[in-house]
Amino acid sequence: MPVQRRSAERLARILDACAQLIEEAGYERLSTREVAVRAGVPIGSVYRFFSGKRAMAAALAHRNLDRYAERVAARLAQRPDLDAHGAVDAVLDAYIAMRRTEPGFALVDFGVPAAPREAAPDAAPDASPDRNGDRDGDHDGDGNAGRDGDEHGVNHLVAERIRGLLGGYLHHSSGEVLRRKVLVAVEATDALLRLAFRAGPPGDPELIDETRALLHAYLAPVLRG
């Protein structure tokens, strides 16, 4: 157990350092060597967990999603008196709070940023050391160039997590219709909040209000009460 605990703590430090460096310099300039230095671990420890920066950022994105789900679940547990519209607000507010406060979240929320457009989509992974002795590649052998490989796949995953969290507040005779409604809500919110936060935190309050109104109106047919 002590070994497992030390390993988990080291992994957490690596992901914290990854988030901080993304916040400071952006994803494209992220380096596994700089992450190791910031985290205070040997570079070999980084490669013990991750094949390169894309895999590391993907792990950060998954951690972000877990933390987001925990925030929403905690809010709903603290406020059992919330109606369905209040639960939708909790889902939106948790995301906005993370966007404002979580390091690196603006660039890596729940998925890795897309690779540069000029990169060949079928390019082989870069596993050779660069001039600094680092072997960062942007593909990690998967050949993908989207957000965590597929932005729409990421939003499907987010939608399923949200649908699970809001299960008691949603209803429809068709599960497929309900899945589609939540997915469309996630896609629309993603686009609108990208626009609202284009100038950075804390985000355009009027666009955030419009996003909230759109969610309430669009999801009204499947909200209980």
d(CA 95, CA 112): 17
d(CA 144, CA 60): 17
Tally of CA atoms within 13 A in the half-sphere of 219 that contains its CB: 32
Quote the percentage of the chain above a pLDDT of 90.
77
Over residues 76-96, mean pLDDT: 97
Mean pLDDT, all residues of the chain: 86
Decide: 172 and 178 in contact? Cβ < 8 Å.
yes
Could you give the angle at the alpha carbon of 19 between the alpha carbons of 67 and 204, nearest 5°?
75
Judge whether residue 209 has pLDDT over 80: yes
Residue 60 lies in a domain: no
Over residues 84-111, mean pLDDT: 97
Judge whether residue 27 has pLDDT over 80: yes
Residue 114 lies in a domain: yes
Burial of residue 86, with CB atoms counted within 10 A of its CB: 0-12 exposed, 13-18 middle, 19 or more buried:
middle
Phi, psi of 112 (to 5 degrees): -75, 140
Residue 122 lies in a domain: yes
Judge whether residue 76 has pLDDT over 60: yes
Residue 194 lies in a domain: yes
Unique residue bearing structure tokens 């671990």: 41
- Residue 116's pLDDT band (cuts 50, 70, 90): low
* 145/147: higher pLDDT: 147
Radius of gyration for the chain, computed over Cα atoms and rounded to the nearest angstrom: 19
pLDDT tens per residue, range 152-206 = 589 999 999 999 999 999 999 899 999 999 999 999 999 999 999 998 889 999 9
Residue 198 lies in a domain: yes
- Residue 145's pLDDT band (cuts 50, 70, 90): very low
Judge whether residue 88 has pLDDT over 90: yes
Tokens standing for 61? 């994105």
Q: Give pLDDT, residue 114.
A: 75
Over residues 21-44, mean pLDDT: 97
Judge whether residue 137 has pLDDT over 70: no
CATH code, domain carrying 154? 1.10.357.10
Residue 15 lies in a domain: no
How many domains is the chain built from?
1
Judge whether residue 219 has pLDDT over 50: yes
Residue 206 lies in a domain: yes
Q: Give pLDDT, residue 36.
A: 98
Q: Give pLDDT, residue 86.
A: 98
Q: Domain containing 81: what range?
A: 65-222
* 214/130: higher pLDDT: 214
d(CA 55, CA 27): 12
Residue 203 lies in a domain: yes
Over residues 14-41, mean pLDDT: 97
